[in-house]
Amino acid sequence: MAKKITLPLTDEAIKDLKAGDSVLITGSMLTGRDAAHKRLFELIEKGEKLPVDLSGEVIYYVGPAPAKPGHAVGPAGPTSSYRMDKYTPALLDRGLKAMIGKGARSPEVIESMIKNGCVYFAAIGGAAALISQSIKKVETLAYEDLGTEAIYRFTVEDFPAIVAIDSMGNLAAPSLIKK
């Protein structure tokens, strides 16, 4: 049975999430992938203000396909998370609470997740048409020039995911830590 959770996530709600739990997420989340992460990271390194406030937020690693007329969003499944690993600890230190992606994370990311009390969800890679049905609204927040790689705000209802790595660093499957 999937556990229903709503965003933003409280610290208590995060503690209740255990590796392997199936969840249905409702609320609003940020999106961002390679190019947006690089820009955010560079701003953090320079000590400059970010175009979005990360505190308490969830970020979904996705670059959606264009929406057909009458659809809120195009197919929008997760992209591989490990490419964000280099930038992730800096974002978690800035208050980011959860990430949604697919695949393994580095030991450094997992260490930072434990330190900051964060959770990593896996969405099912390639289930893009199905996942997009749970995305009800899309707004562009930053980096519009990046097109599909811009930072959007998604409003989702019953977005399906699995707790891949919980806030204690437990893994849903042994391969989820990058060796």
Among 3, 15, 18, 71, binds another protein (CB under 8 A): 71
Q: Which stretch binds another protein (CB under 8 A): 5-13, 39-47, 84-92, 131-139?
A: 131-139
51 and 142 Cβ atoms separated by less than 8 Å: yes
- Kind of pairing between the strands at 3-6 and 119-122: unpaired
Residue 167 CB neighbour total at 10 angstroms: 23
Among 37, 39, 97, 102, binds another protein (CB under 8 A): 102
Q: Which stretch binds another protein (CB under 8 A): 10-18, 48-56, 99-107, 109-117?
A: 99-107
Query: Rule CB under 8 A: is residue 147 a binding residue for another protein?
Result: yes
* 77: β partners: none
175 and 165 Cβ atoms separated by less than 8 Å: no
153 and 28 Cβ atoms separated by less than 8 Å: yes
Quote the least distance from Cβ 7 to another protein, whole Å: 21
C-alpha span between 123 and 127 (Å, rounded)? 8
Among candidate residues 7, 17, 33, 37, the one labeled active-site is: 37
Query: Rule CB under 8 A: is residue 125 a binding residue for another protein?
Result: yes
- Give the contacts of 128 (CB within 8 A, at least 6 positions apart): 65, 75, 76, 77
Quote the least distance from Cβ 139 to another protein, whole Å: 18
**Which residues does the annotation mark as catalytic?**
37
Chain residues binding another protein by CB under 8 A are: 20, 22, 35, 62-68, 71, 74-77, 79-80, 82, 102-104, 122, 124-133, 146-148, 160, 162, 164, 172-176, 178
